[in-house]
Structure 1
Amino acid sequence: MSRDPRPGEIYLEFRPVGKQVKVTAIDAATGIEVSTFGPASVAQEDLKRIVVRKLQRRIEQEAAAKTTRPDPTLY
């Protein structure tokens, strides 16, 4: 099953680690990955909201860094 990722598509993984849950979010278009931990007692929607916001912030930071970096091939 092969298909191209759609813009804005995010893959989420919830993995229990003891009394916590590790939540990983990956942006399908860029491959940028972030993760966070939270108590297993918290609703998945709350953890999802946190990790998606963290991913969006990271994508914004990466985009800003690309536009402000000088070209290393210039003198």
Structure 2
Amino acid sequence: MSGADGEVLFEFHRVGTYMKVVAIDGKTGVEVSVVGPATGSVELLKRTAVNKLRYVQTRDAKPGR
């Protein structure tokens, strides 16, 4: 997936009744994960992972950047 903020890579791991989604920023290598129901929407899990990734990147950004 790519967008205005750059490329995001996804990994999907099914663990029982849950799906773990790992989102990785292609440029910086920052990685986050989210877990949701395996029967749920893949797009919702991806969107949630991207939102968490953007949150972590903003939180960790140094002032003045």
SS in 2 for 1:9: strand
The count of residues paired between Structure 1 and Structure 2 equals 60
For structure 1, the 5+ residue unaligned runs are: 1-6, 69-75
Give the superposition deviation at 1:15: 0.7
Which structure features the higher share of helix residues?
1
TM-score, normalization: structure 1?
Answer: 0.74
Matches within 5 A, 1:22-37: 22-37=20-35
Greater C-alpha radius of gyration: 1
RMSD of aligned residue pairs (Cα, Å): 1.4
SS in structure 2 of the partner of residue 34 of structure 1: strand
Percent sequence identity is 47
Which position in structure 1 is the counterpart of 2:43? Answer: 45
Distance 1:28 1:45 in 2: 19
Runs of 4+ in 1 over 4 A off after TM superposition: none
